[in-house]
Amino acid sequence: MPHVFNAFFSYDLPFGKGRQYDTDNKVIRALISGWQMSGIQRYADGVPLGPFVATCVLPQAGTCYADYNPAFTGPVRINGDWGNGDVKAAVANATPFIDSRAFVKAPDFTYGNTPVLGAYGLRNPHLLNTDLSISRDFRITEDVKIVFGVDGFNVWNYVRFGGINTNITNAAFGKVTTQTNLPRVFQGKLRVLF
């Protein structure tokens, strides 16, 4: 992956006693003081896509790499970004994102000339993810405190598509059929420290 970015942050929210936004009301101060927000932001380019394969006539091989089509011209990636179509439709109706004409079946008794990964520079979809947490410590006694909070995973509900079929003899070739990350999830937390 040529580009990977990971960032962690932690921020004490500016509310409550001794903070930028303080109030004289003791009840409100007790409710809004001491909250902290933290999170992780991740971005990574997609890994090279492949291998591009086809059924071949080669003793004890079964599946071989496809050949580049020497007569092909034009863009290999078609129909916009990965997953820019109906991925819940039947495979026959799904949108193809790779032009099948860019590849051909290798001649009999040959292995094919495409590389193991990254033919035509094709890559899987990139990863973009944000996880956030907001929490607060409540001190009960000198030795006992309760940590309360909420964690959110994939908070912007970003979809990362995967399952791009690379078998040039398959009807689903070049089509996105799955999602590789989980949808947005929130969880509450309550921890007693003593």
Pair 113, 67: CB distance under 8 Å? yes
Question: Which residue would you say has higher pLDDT here, 54 or 88?
Answer: 54
**Helix (H) / strand (E) containing 28:** helix 26-32
Which pLDDT belongs to residue 93?
74
Residue 120 has pLDDT above 80, yes or no: yes
Which pLDDT belongs to residue 88?
66
Task: Quickly state the pLDDT bin for 61 (edges 50, 70, 90).
Answer: low
Which pLDDT belongs to residue 5?
96
Residue 87 has pLDDT above 70, yes or no: no
Q: Answer yes or no: pTM beyond 0.85.
A: no
- For 117-171, give the DSSP string: S-GGG-BPPPEEEEEEEEEEEEE-SSS-EEEEEEEEESTT----EEEE--BTTST
Task: Quickly state the pLDDT bin for 105 (edges 50, 70, 90).
Answer: very high
Pair 75, 99: CB distance under 8 Å? yes
- CB atoms closer than 10 angstroms to residue 139: 11
Cβ-based neighbours of 60, under 8 Å, separated by 6 or more: none
Tokens of 175: 């089509």
Q: Give the structural domain span for 9.
A: 4-193
Domain count, the chain: 1
Least confident range of 6-10, 60-64, 164-168, 179-183: 60-64
Which pLDDT belongs to residue 59?
73
Residues paired with 43 in a beta bridge: 5, 128
Q: Calculate mean pLDDT across residues 129-139.
A: 91
Per residue in 144-186, pLDDT tens?
Answer: 989 999 999 999 999 888 878 999 999 889 998 788 888 999 9
